[in-house]
A and B are shown apart, each in its own frame.
Chain A
């Protein structure tokens, strides 16, 4: 089980409290599809992903981004039981969605960049370290039920 210090929990809560799940989620997913275009392979039914502008404006991308980041919020509420929290989602991503877990790491890195652009100097090294740890354990939890 992952251990979270009081300071880490505080850094997570204070950032999350200021995040617009809808905006950040949409931006993170759009950037994932733009920066790592091969990730578009999972979204062939999303319509127009032909350019960064199309991706950013795509309503399905925005909606899905919001969904993904909302789920992230569940992780934050259950830091002491991430594997349990993500057990069903992990099975889903393996058995139905067939998503290579590497993609969870890519999205995690992208989320860090999005947070950095929003929080700028408030995204201190300690903050970044905590959040990289968080996205890493979320990715690990999502990959846990893969077989």
Chain B
């Protein structure tokens, strides 16, 4: 799966519109993921997952920062997320299936806050981008 010039431009434009809200989007995506896919909570036994949790907010910020970094370096996502990729392979070992689940929830959050931005074409580009990020993060698993 390859990101076309159009895809890259769509993704950059979405993140441009999200701007400073990215941190909140990250937190909300995590909140929705825990609610919708309870099995994802198994990776956070050490977290308080109650609504409004500071830990979830903090983690959402990290997730968002990584997505923003990937979007800003969209021509070389593997390079930009190389250290994160190592971390997921060696330490976190989150099963690859879960990246799709978080990706779905991130799309939902974008849809809710920017319904007019998420045209079918932009939806496609963003979905591809999120897949690409997941692929990079699991690339060194074996």
List residues of chain A with CB under 8 Å of any chain B CB. 30-31, 34-35, 52, 55-56, 109, 112-113, 116-121, 123, 125-126, 128-129, 132-133
A/B pair count, beta carbons within 8 Å? 59
Known contacts A120-B115, A125-B31, A128-B32; A35/B108 CB under 8 A: no
B115 touches A34 (CB 8 A): no
| A120 and chain B: residue at smallest CB distance | B112
The secondary-structure label for the interface of chain A is: helix
| A56 and chain B: residue at smallest CB distance | B120
A125 to B34, CA, bound (A): 9
Known contacts A35-B120, A35-B123, A128-B35; A113/B113 CB under 8 A: no
Which B residues from 84 to 130 make CB contacts under 8 A with A? 104-105, 107-108, 111-113, 115, 118-121, 123-124, 127
At the interface, yes or no: B55 with Cβ under 8 Å from chain A? no
At the interface, yes or no: B36 with Cβ under 8 Å from chain A? yes
A112's partner among B104, B113, B115 (CB-CB below 8 A) is B104
Known contacts A116-B108, A117-B115; A128/B124 CB under 8 A: no
Q: A116-B108, A120-B112, A133-B36 are in contact. List 13 more A-B contacts (CB 8 A).
A: A30-B120, A34-B123, A35-B120, A35-B123, A35-B127, A52-B120, A109-B104, A113-B111, A113-B118, A113-B123, A116-B115, A120-B115, A125-B32
A35 to B124, CA, bound (A): 4
Tell me which residues across on chain B come within 8 A of A116, comparing CB atoms: 107-108, 111-112, 115
